[in-house]
């Protein structure tokens, strides 16, 4: 089969899948045979650049997305799945598809972490959604051990500029991979919580889970 014919076949399957979704009965699973067939083919032929899935947590539903390099996005509850997927399509690749099986290892690690049974995540990370000093801050944050905390000043210094506490705080506030890159372990000098994208109750709960408070 030529590449043009293969592309036409894939487009046909996608159109069929979308028609199946449009005709779905309310209350029934929104997954047609055509959708499943297209997903399987896309995965088998390596046509997916970003795979995503959702998983439950004590704080609500999280969205997880990974590329061939590793975990690229973990969104907080309330960010909106559609909005996050659209952002990934714009900033990483339009070839984004829901593929829960590919995220199963990380989902199991998160479940163990929230149960207090996991201290270190093993999933590889894709840093492409952050650059420059922000990326340096987050890479230093990823080194903070379970149960430990540092100050904004300390993390800025570790990233190369101890006077850039505000910039460090901004980098942490826009962390695309929270929890796994534990920005919740960065506090104000003196021990105050500071800010957190998932809200201060979530930050406090994560620190208490790790025995850091």
Using only the alpha carbons of the chain, give its radius of gyration.
20
Alpha-carbon span 6 to 52, nearest angstrom = 24
Classify the C-alpha dihedral 67-70-71-72 as positive or negative: negative
Say which of 183, 187, 202, 212 is annotated catalytic. 183
Alpha-carbon span 42 to 95, nearest angstrom = 10
For residue 46, the surrounding DSSP H or E stretch is none
**Catalytic site includes residue 183:** yes
Neighbours of 70 (CB within 10 A): 15
Residue 99 CB contacts under 8 Å (≥ 6 apart), including other chains: 39, 43, 48, 51, 52, 53
C-alpha dihedral, 77 to 78 to 82 to 84, nearest 10°: -70
Residue 98 CB contacts under 8 Å (≥ 6 apart), including other chains: 39, 51, 52, 53
Q: Name the residues annotated as catalytic.
A: 183
């Amino acid at each position: 089969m030529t590449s043009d014919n293969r592309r036409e076949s894939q487009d046909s399957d996608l159109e069929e899948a979308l028609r199946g979704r449009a005709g779905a009965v309310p209350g029934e699973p929104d997954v047609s045979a055509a959708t499943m067939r297209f997903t399987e083919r896309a995965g088998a032929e390596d046509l997916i650049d970003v795979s995503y899935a959702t998983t439950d947590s004590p704080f609500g539903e999280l969205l997880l997305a990974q590329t061939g390099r590793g975990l690229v996005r973990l969104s907080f509850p309330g960010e909106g799945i559609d909005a996050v997927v659209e952002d990934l399509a714009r900033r990483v690749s339009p070839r984004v598809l829901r593929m829960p099986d590919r995220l199963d290892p990380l989902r199991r690690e998160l479940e163990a972490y929230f149960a207090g049974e996991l201290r270190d995540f093993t999933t590889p990370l894709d840093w492409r959604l952050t650059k420059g000093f922000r990326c340096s801050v987050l890479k230093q944050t990823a080194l903070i051990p379970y149960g430990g905390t540092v100050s904004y000043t300390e993390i800025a210094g570790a990233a190369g500029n101890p006077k850039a506490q505000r910039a460090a705080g901004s980098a942490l506030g826009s962390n695309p991979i929270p929890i796994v890159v534990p920005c919740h372990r960065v506090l104000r000098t003196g021990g105050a919580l500071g800010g957190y994208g998932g809200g201060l109750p979530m930050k406090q709960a994560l620190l208490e889970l790790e025995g850091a408070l």
